[in-house]
Amino acid sequence: MKSSFKFSNLCGTVYQGGNVVFSADGDSIYSPVGNRLSIFNLVRNSSTTLPFETRKPIARIALSPANKAIVLVADEDGRALLINTVKRSLLAHMNFQRPLRDAKFSNDGKFLAVTFGNQIKVWKTPSHLAREFAPFVLHRTYTGHFDDVLSIRWTQNSR
């Protein structure tokens, strides 16, 4: 007897913290529910929970504006997962080794900026066209801030 069960939704759980992100078209909300990511479709009035878990509760969510299916999820310790939400596949793991204050993809989707403490680190993101051995490559570190960097905003030309 074969049986194949898929985890599709969480019952009885509620939002516990982390940032809530709207999709670019405004049709969906990405919300952390403990250590899983739930996607609420406001147009179809449905919700799904992705089958991936972080080790601790999710603290940060970042959506790629260039590729709508790519989302970065980071937990309280700074361990992150790069997920393709359409294919429901895990693309990469990343350990930032410290809790993230904020994470944002550039408008062209080529870079990911993360903040922790008084530093900003910019990483090159993996290409969706080819497989890469090291999906995240450190591009640049910005230091010299006198206090913690709490938020990041990219310009329209991704600078």
DSSP secondary structure letters along 27-38: SEEEEEETTEEE
Residues 155, 120: Cα–Cα separation, whole Å: 16
Per CATH, which fold does 21-142 belong to?
A: Methylamine Dehydrogenase; Chain H (2.130.10)
Task: Give per-residue pLDDT as tens, 34-74.
Answer: 889 999 998 998 888 898 999 999 999 999 988 888 899 99
Global pTM reads: 0.83
At position 113, the amino acid (one-letter code) is A
Domain boundaries, the chain: 21-142
Q: Are 85 and 91 in contact (CB under 8 A)?
A: no
pLDDT at 156: 86
